[in-house]
Amino acid sequence: MSTKKVELIAAPKPAHFVGDGFRVHNFIPSGYHLDMKRMDPFIMLDYNSKFHFSGTDTPRGVGVHPHRGFETVTIAYQGRVEHGDSSGGGGIIGQGDVQWMTAASGVLHKEFHETEWAKEGGIFQMVQLWVNLPAKDKMSPPKYQAIKNSEMKNVDLGENGFIEVIAGEFNGEKGPATTFSPVNLMNAKLKSGGKAIFSFPEGFTTAALVIEGKIIVNEKEKVPTDHLVLFGNEGEDFTIETSEDSIVLVISGKPLNEPIYPHGPFVMNTREEIIQAFNDYNTGKFGYLED
Ligand code: MN
């Protein structure tokens, strides 16, 4: 077993608003070299670091918009979000829960703070990760996986804390989400003084985002709160340790190694497929969703 070396520690870029409900730092694809090709199969990562929203009777968020060709994974750390889409899917993503939406052939959806939460307001903290789909699956039917926190696989590390596995596996323990290509997604919830050893196959694209606390990677590299650490694809193992209670989102996936042709809310393999996506969208093939 050889070590996965730290390739980059990325500070959060200045935040921008997506709609009026998501104040995000974009990490993928970004001005660092965290572009879609380097981060394959991960094509977008927006991080709403802790931000206070005041109470309102008009929930904030993003109105109706389409997606095709990939999956959106929403991980709620604080606050609640309500999604709805043209295939009849959706639901409330509560604190600690994950929604894994396979847009695939296409959906229209909207993403808003959940009504009751919005009335109270409070601290909001969330990640949205886009996972690309293999070419052969891009036009498969849309689907949802609503993953409650209680359904995640907790791997107990004793006094070190635990690993909450959402997809893929940690130490052979599998998470509940199904994926179209090999993807590992988990929260390391480490206690002060805790340490965890991760192992992912050689060649996998691997990164970790510090949600809470601060960590030391491979016994020497310090990664502060709200920073992302990218590992080299060579090697297999790395360690995370911490001197305070911490939460770290760990992602690792096998690159698809297929052409990537993104345009706005569509991510396909060729320009022709993007033109087709716009045609299908403009002729109502994504269905209908009320504002
Ligand atoms: Mn969306």
Give the model's pLDDT for residue 289.
85
* pLDDT tens-digit series, residues 153-181: 999 999 999 999 999 999 999 999 999 99
Cis-peptide, bond into residue 262, ω within 30° of zero: no
Beta strand pairing status for 205-212 and 266-268? unpaired
**Distance from the alpha carbon of residue 66 to the mean position of ligand 1, in angstroms:** 7
Answering whether pTM is above 0.85, one says yes
CB contact at 8 A, 254 and 203: yes
Give the integer Cα–Cα distance in Å for 21 and 13: 18
Residues of the chain by 3-state class (helix, strand, coil), percent to 5 = 10, 50, 40
pLDDT score at 185: 98
Neighbour-count burial of 7, counting CB atoms closer than 10 A to its CB (0-12 exposed, 13-18 middle, 19+ buried): middle
Give the pLDDT confidence score for residue 207 in this predicted structure.
98
CA of 103 to the centre of ligand 1 (A): 9
- CA 148–ligand 1 middle distance (angstroms): 20
* Separation of CA 130 and ligand 1 centre (Å): 10
Residue 225: is its pLDDT beyond 80? yes
Rounded to an integer, what is the distance from CA 239 to the centroid of its chain?
A: 21
Could you tell me the distance, in angstroms and rounded to a whole number, from the CA of residue 83 to the centre of ligand 1? Answer: 9
For the segment 232-283, what is each residue's pLDDT rounded down to a tens digit?
A: 999 999 999 999 999 999 999 999 999 999 999 999 999 999 999 999 999 9
Ligand 1 centre to CA of 110 (Å) is 7
Sorted by where each begins, the domain ranges of the chain are 6-253
Separation of CA 107 and ligand 1 centre (Å): 9
Cα separations in angstroms, 191 against 148, 156, 195: 22, 12, 8
- The per-residue b/e assignment along 56-73, b for 16 or more CB within 10 angstroms, e otherwise, is eeebbbbebbbbbbbbbb
| Residue 163 Cα to ligand 1 middle (Å) | 28
- Report CA(67)–ligand 1 centroid distance (Å): 7
Instruction: Find out if CATH 3.40.50.150 is the number for domain 6-253.
Output: no
103-160 per-position pLDDT tens digit:
999 999 999 999 999 999 999 999 999 999 999 999 999 999 999 999 999 999 999 9
